[in-house]
């Protein structure tokens, strides 16, 4: 009997310790569902959901209610920087703020369909997608929206992921594997269906670069591509619960979240998915990785946060052996190293955690990198993968 008690106490202690890895920063029992989270830095971000619910943090710890005075269901929120953001929701609702959510202005669009996801590549280029195949695009920061809805494609669209001005992916409600993901290579004018090996509705898709991406589905279904969507390999997510969101910080480190507090983590590109205890049974609708922080939101207005030291564990050992200069640049940076290296992956990531440029090269001694000329002025992270290590440096683009 004593051994049983000791064993039970040990199990409970282990579960508690695991749950404490995730900090519940905000929760309102009986409250609204938070459907989307958008962090622009590790400390500044927003979350939104049903009944016009919007929460804001400026310290990465406390969340302030800046909700709309409406019952509109907000399905998606996306901030480009600390002040400029968009919300999309039921009944064709699409709004923009330029003052950090204090005021919201309706966007002029011609649809009453529920809008499920809004996403921007930069200050100008953005997409909004939704019910009955609704696709809207702007090239001027929301001043004008073009309707790209294809009447021959009436599936509900749940998610849009923008790689660059040409390559865009759509995750849909289709139960057919060939229709659960669509891809455009001409900026959204035309779309082709991809066979993802997931025969279920797909709520989300995420790419870290032009080649590597992950799509999720119901009943724990998950599939990954390493060649830009041409071929997909099913992976074991280690759960049978429905998955709702996916986020990767690089090609190896990623999270998926879902039903009944489900959180799964991979550190090897999805070959293995490890269960993590969220400490809650709430449905977790949205996850975002940014820097060393991971944020998750869900029902009862719950906001979870975890700081993962493993994302930077290798950085300290080699960071001083890799230099980037100048740190304030007009368009070019010099990357130099004293390490012996045959190949490297350099990724430029904006403040929202979105990949905006990817370079593969042989980093021997010193290399000059020309930044994508379409990038807007601001702060960017330069993430370098080499020798099985990942480091991150900051630069400021000032043209």
pLDDT in tens, 299-335: 999 999 998 755 543 444 455 667 888 888 999 998 8
Bridge partners (DSSP) of residue 367 are: 335
The CATH code of the domain at 315-397 is 2.60.40.3080
Query: Using CA atoms, how far apart are residues 90 and 281, in angstroms rounded to an integer?
Result: 26
Q: Are 257 and 295 in contact (CB under 8 A)?
A: no
The closest of 123, 28, 130, 45 to 82, measured between CA atoms, is 45
Bridge partners (DSSP) of residue 393 are: 382
Q: What is the pTM of this model?
A: 0.76
The CATH code of the domain at 21-308 is 2.130.10.10
CA distances from 243 to 191, 222, 352, 372 (A): 25, 9, 22, 34
Q: Are 316 and 292 in contact (CB under 8 A)?
A: no
pLDDT tens digits, 340-394: 555 677 888 886 667 788 887 776 667 888 999 999 888 888 887 765 556 778 8
Q: Where are the domains of the chain?
A: 21-308, 315-397
Query: Using CA atoms, how far apart are residues 143 and 338, in angstroms rounded to an integer?
Result: 48
**From first to last of its 399 residues, what are the pLDDT tens digits of the chain?**
444 444 443 333 333 333 347 999 999 998 899 999 999 988 999 999 999 999 999 999 999 999 999 899 999 999 999 999 999 999 999 999 999 999 999 999 989 999 999 999 989 999 999 999 999 999 999 999 999 987 667 789 999 999 989 999 999 987 665 678 999 999 999 999 998 988 788 999 999 888 999 999 999 999 999 999 999 999 999 999 999 999 999 889 999 999 999 999 999 999 999 999 999 999 999 999 998 899 999 999 999 999 875 554 344 445 566 788 888 899 999 887 766 555 677 888 886 667 788 887 776 667 888 999 999 888 888 887 765 556 778 888 998
């Amino acid at each position: 009997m004593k051994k049983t008690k000791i064993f039970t106490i040990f199990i409970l202690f282990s579960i508690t310790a695991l749950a404490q890895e995730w900090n519940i920063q905000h929760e309102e029992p009986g409250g609204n569902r938070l459907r989307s989270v958008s962090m622009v830095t590790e400390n500044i971000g927003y979350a939104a959901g049903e009944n016009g619910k919007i929460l804001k943090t400026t310290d990465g710890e406390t969340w302030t209610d800046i909700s709309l005075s409406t019952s509109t269901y907000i399905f998606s929120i996306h901030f480009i920087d600390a002040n400029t953001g968009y919300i999309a929701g039921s009944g064709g609702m699409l709004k923009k703020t330029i003052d950090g959510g204090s005021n919201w202005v309706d966007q002029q669009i011609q649809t009453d369909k529920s809008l499920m996801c809004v996403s921007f590549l930069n200050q100008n280029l953005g997409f909004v997608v939704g019910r009955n195949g609704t696709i809207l695009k702007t090239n001027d920061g929301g001043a004008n929206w073009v309707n790209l809805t294809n009447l021959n494609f009436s599936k509900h669209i749940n998610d849009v992921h923008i790689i660059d001005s040409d390559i865009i992916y759509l995750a849909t409600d289709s139960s057919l594997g060939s229709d659960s993901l669509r891809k455009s290579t001409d900026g959204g004018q035309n779309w082709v269906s991809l066979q993802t090996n997931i025969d279920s509705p797909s709520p989300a898709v995420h790419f870290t670069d032009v080649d590597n991406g992950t799509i999720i589905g119901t009943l724990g279904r998950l599939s990954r591509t390493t060649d830009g969507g041409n071929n997909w390999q099913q992976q074991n997510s280690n759960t049978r619960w429905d998955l709702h969101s996916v986020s990767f910080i690089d090609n190896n480190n990623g999270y998926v979240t879902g039903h009944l507090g489900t959180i799964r983590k991979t550190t090897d590109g999805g070959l293995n998915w490890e269960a993590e205890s969220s400490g809650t049974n709430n449905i977790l609708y949205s996850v975002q990785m940014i820097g060393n922080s991971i944020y998750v939101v869900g029902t009862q207005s719950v906001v979870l946060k975890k700081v993962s030291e493993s994302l930077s564990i290798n950085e300290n050992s080699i960071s001083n052996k890799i230099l980037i200069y100048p740190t304030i640049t007009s368009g070019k940076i010099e990357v130099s190293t004293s390490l012996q290296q045959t190949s490297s992956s350099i990724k430029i990531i904006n403040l929202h955690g979105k990949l905006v440029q990817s370079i593969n090269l042989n980093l021997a001694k010193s290399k000059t990198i020309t930044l994508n000329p379409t990038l807007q002025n601001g702060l960017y992270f330069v993430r370098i993968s080499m020798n099985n290590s990942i480091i991150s440096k900051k630069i400021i683009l000032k043209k």
